[in-house]
């Protein structure tokens, strides 16, 4: 029976790689640069960390970006609270908004995203960027609710995939892309009836989602961002570190982190290094496992 010890390497501990952010979020590893890009949401900056070059500012005005990912061509995709959409930054620095409206109405404030092997972009749209001017611009919502969306860059089509999440945040696919996991942290706003859980949705052959079910409850604190390894284990943020669950929802243990964790991503030559954003800092630890988030850059199985 697996437990947290099976992922840990003797002598390896969580290390603070850099600090100085107001609220660090959305890490993404850039394979061609051996660097990590992450958002300082409240500082409205996009930051870059490299093991030799240290911490630098990639963008002085990130439009309150939050989650980041790479598309099939290796371009940087960002969830922007400020412009309330998904942006794409090309290698030459050119930046454009890919999608910011559904049926003519402005999105709330896209929070996190993943890219499927077919190139579609899946993202969550809670209201946190429009609730105040701290992480975006205070504004009324034009949407009826907070949903999980699928955007097809080739056709420009945007679809609501599920309404069965009260406050969707982090999301990720299982290694075979037959299950979509979504964090629901609605307990923050609804302390009695809200959720602090990861929900699981079966992905049907036609790409639609089945009915959601509770996979696991995440405590202490709330689930925010998370990533999945090749065996289907979930590495999820919580108040005290990274909580690890197997694909059935059983908690395997905790990787302690000194600050409240917001998100994480796998990186390194074989995706076995876990980069962790936590409040003001970027942390990292070498693990005995392999991440999955770059399988979309490979040929479909």
Quickly list DSSP for 69-113: EE-TTS-EEEEETTTTEEEEE-TTS-EEEEE-EETTEEPS----E
Q: How far apart are the first and last CA of the chain?
A: 29
| Distance of alpha carbon 187 from the chain centroid | 19
Note if 204 is an active site residue.
Answer: no
Helices vs. strands in the chain: H and E counts, helices first: 0, 26
Residues in the chain: 301
Task: State how far the Cα of 11 lies from the Cα of 13, in Å rounded to an integer.
Answer: 6
Give the whole-angstrom CA distance, residue 58 versus residue 291.
Answer: 25
Q: 204 in the Ramachandran plot: left (φ > 0), alpha (ψ -120 to 50) or beta?
A: beta
> CA 75, 76, 78, 83: dihedral to nearest 10 degrees?
-70
**Residue from 112, 125, 184, 224 carrying the catalytic annotation:** 224
Residues taking part in catalysis: 224
């Amino acid at each position: 029976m697996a437990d947290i010890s099976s992922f840990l390497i003797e002598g390896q501990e969580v290390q603070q790689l850099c600090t100085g952010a107001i609220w660090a979020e959305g890490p993404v590893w850039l394979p061609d640069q051996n660097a990590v890009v992450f958002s300082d949401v409240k500082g409205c900056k996009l930051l870059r960390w490299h093991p030799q070059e240290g911490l630098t500012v990639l963008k002085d005005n990130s439009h309150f970006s939050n989650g980041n990912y790479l598309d099939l061509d290796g371009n940087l995709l960002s969830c922007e609270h400020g412009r309330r959409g998904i942006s794409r930054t090309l290698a030459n620095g050119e930046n454009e908004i890919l999608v910011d409206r559904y049926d003519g109405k402005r999105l709330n404030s896209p929070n996190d995203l993943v890219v499927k092997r077919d190139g579609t972009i899946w993202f969550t749209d809670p209201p946190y960027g429009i609730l105040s001017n701290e992480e975006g611009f205070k504004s009324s919502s034009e949407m009826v609710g907070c949903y999980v969306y699928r955007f097809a860059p080739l056709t420009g089509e945007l679809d609501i995939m599920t309404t069965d999440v009260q406050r969707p945040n982090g999301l990720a696919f299982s290694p075979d892309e037959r299950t979509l996991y979504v964090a629901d942290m609605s307990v923050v706003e609804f302390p009695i009836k809200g959720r602090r859980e990861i929900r699981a949705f079966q992905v049907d052959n036609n790409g639609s989602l089945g009915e959601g079910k509770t996979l696991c409850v995440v405590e202490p604190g709330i689930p925010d961002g998370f990533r999945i390894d090749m065996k289907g284990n979930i590495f999820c943020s919580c108040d005290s570190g990274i909580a690890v669950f197997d694909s059935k929802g059983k908690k395997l243990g905790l990787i302690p982190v000194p600050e409240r964790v917001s998100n994480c991503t796998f990186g390194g030559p074989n995706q076995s290094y876990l980069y962790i954003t936590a409040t003001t800092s970027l942390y990292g630890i070498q693990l005995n496992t392999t991440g999955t988030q770059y399988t979309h850059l490979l040929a479909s199985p």
